[in-house]
Chains A and B, each alone.
Chain A
């Protein structure tokens, strides 16, 4: 799989484009220009004996060819050029135009000829009248403009719509679940990428489980986990499709996958809110988010009482930053007040969801995943230093709230200035954090950043590495930890990255930090994460253990080797930190 393509949109665009070509040809001929009549030419070749049927057949053939070219555009060209879509289509139209001039049109003439064999001269290949050439170019340009105009946003769907239902569960030979043999083992995890924020000011829903075909291939996905020895799966059922309103749920998106996971594994770490909220809740600025999400968490825990691991809200800092500071998702705001409001609402949701789950399942384990960020000032410029300090304080804000960690004086002023009341602060600060709360730390090559001399933020790559950055979080919260996400955009370099991150994990364990698991994220390639889901392009982000055809990548084999090598080593098989957490 090289692209996520909307077939029906491309076919329609191509057929309409071909019709537009025919209309242009007709119009040119009306004005006296001897334009090429492609449908007529095709018809006379395919059905030479009857002009009427021939024309209809020719038109049908032309529409089919138009559709095929549009699919080609959708797979190979769309979104690659940073131009307006009609211009992308126009640029693409050069390809079919050149092929039509050099091959197709001369060959159509040859096919219309009488006799079986002709002797060609080179000049026959390029024999066109100037008006004929002109008409071919103009017709293809119109075709390109039309498909460019019509084929847009191939992934996701309009807010309010729903994707195709889940594929039906079927019987097949399943690989055994390694985690079940080893209940106190270290967590070797992966995840199903399940982000569902809205973009385009709340009009378009990104749905990674749809874009990566999980709704169709969910059973195969779980089996692939088992085949490489994954013990735990970070899995986020689609909140926006399941939670339809107060006390209204559509569990059909969840029941069968959860039944499969319950019976065959791997054990899920259920991710209840992943970068988006249901349509009816609007966005993160909604103060009703907390009680609503608590209601959902309670209903989920009641329905699936066997689930023990939860991530109430995934990467709160990333979610609030992208939504309220960087104007990319959901409310798409760009101010500190919106950011603080979003953090307050989401942290409140996380706390209330945790409490609601604990009512149903007192021994639940909470893996609170958060992105590990670090910002380095490039120089002693006070303004740049100040900005880096703000970023390095702000990254902790959501975790500070849910882990009842006292905010620094600077951050207290910051949140008060931006609308958080003392009463709200006190409520978070006085919270009794559940014992089985795990600090999940995600790390990618772009998490360490530099503020350069121009004040621009640049990715630093792996400067200090996960160990150093995650240690800052450990020093602050002193909670059991898990490495909850990592991957590498360069698929060829991914095995190297995997092992290097694993050595970070080993070093952390040697430093006596309780560490319960490691995660390569995600199982399959993702879509459009190279542009942080901000546009619906459909580009594959090749970070998965498997590609979107579900063929293994080198990092999938490397992770299997890693798990095979370590899962039965005593300190990982009977992991003290996991046993302590489960106690």
Chain B
């Protein structure tokens, strides 16, 4: 199944930089997400649960979102460049982050404390908004980060490839830059 999915779209292309694109877009997408958190009063609640100042919570949030964006770029790879479906994949990823991070990890890390009421709604919505924005942004920002076709070269793709056995052994042969 994984091999099938890889062949059909997940392996990033040879000129792509999915992790860099994901990290950049992760930070940009955090801006509307922070607005949602602020609107629902979730930012202060999260800071209280984490015993941090609001500024430190924000800083931690941006770093986390950059890392999460890079992870999204790596996991979804070529599919993250899809202009029609990107927002959906991003939202799915945002949902997964919410379920794993806000619902499971945050209470564990804070002795069972979790946001409730509108603050809980704000956390959920902010991650969905973040995911949606991330998925929307990558297809538009990533092309600016691609290595150009005109200059991209790889010895593995030249004439020696005719005798290469490595491509057959490595299903991830469509490898990205980073």
Contact = CB atoms under 8 A, between A and B. Distances in A.
Interface in B149-173: 149-150, 152-154, 156-159, 161-162, 164, 167-168, 170-173
Contacts of B9: 1-3, 540, 542, 547
A542 B139 CA distance: 19
Interface in B44-58: 44-45, 48-49
Contacts of A118: 113-114, 116
Interface string A56-70: 000000000000100
Contacts of A553: 13-14, 174
B14 A557 contact: yes
A493 B120 contact: no
Interface string A95-124: 000010011000100111111111111000
A7 interface: yes
Interface residues of A, number: 58
A558 to B, nearest CB: 4
Contact of A115 (B16, B88, B91, B116): B116
Contacts of B150: 227
Contacts of A227: 149-150
Contact of B167 (A117, A489, A496, A549): A496
A495 interface: yes
A120 B105 CA distance: 12
B158 A561 contact: yes
B173 A111 contact: no
A500 B44 CA distance: 63
Given A227-B150, A493-B167, A549-B82, A107 B103 contact: yes
Contact of B120 (A111, A125, A499, A551): A111
A533 interface: no
Nearest to B169: A492
B126 interface: no
A4 to B, nearest CB: 10
Contact of B149 (A45, A502, A560): A560
Contacts of A500: 162
A119 B113 contact: yes
Interface in A1-59: 1-3, 5, 7, 45-46
A549 B128 CA distance: 24
Contacts of A3: 8-9, 85
Contacts of A107: 103, 120, 124
Interface string B48-84: 1100000000000000000000000000001101111
Contacts of A99: 95, 99
Given A71-B88, A496-B162, A557-B15, A117 B115 contact: yes
Contacts of B162: 496, 499-500, 502-503
B10 interface: yes
Interface string B105-121: 00100011111111111
A491 interface: yes
A500 B154 CA distance: 17
A561 B5 CA distance: 27
Interface in A377-428: none
Given A117-B48, A557-B154, A493 B168 contact: yes
B114 A103 contact: no
Q: Which of B92, B146, B150, B167 has the most CB of A within 10 A?
A: B167
Nearest to B160: A499
B149 A556 contact: yes
B85 A75 contact: yes
A2 to B, nearest CB: 3
Given A2-B5, A5-B84, A503-B162, A549 B113 contact: no
Given A2-B8, A542-B9, A111 B118 contact: yes
A556 B78 CA distance: 15
Given A2-B10, A72-B88, A492-B167, A115 B117 contact: yes
Contacts of A556: 149
24 contacts: A1-B79, A2-B5, A2-B78, A99-B95, A111-B118, A113-B116, A116-B45, A117-B48, A117-B49, A117-B119, A125-B103, A496-B161, A496-B162, A539-B8, A551-B15, A552-B149, A553-B14, A557-B149, A557-B152, A557-B153, A560-B149, A561-B157, A561-B158, A565-B158
8 tightest A-B CB contacts, nearest first: A492-B173, A2-B9, A499-B162, A558-B157, A118-B116, A495-B161, A113-B116, A551-B13
Interface of A: 1-3, 5, 7, 45-46, 68, 71-72, 75, 99, 102-103, 107, 110-121, 125, 227-228, 489-493, 495-496, 498-500, 502-503, 539-540, 542, 547, 549, 551-554, 556-558, 560-562, 565
Interface of B: 5, 7-11, 13-16, 41, 44-45, 48-49, 78-79, 81-85, 88-89, 91-92, 95, 99, 103, 107, 111-121, 124, 139, 146, 149-150, 152-154, 156-159, 161-162, 164, 167-168, 170-174
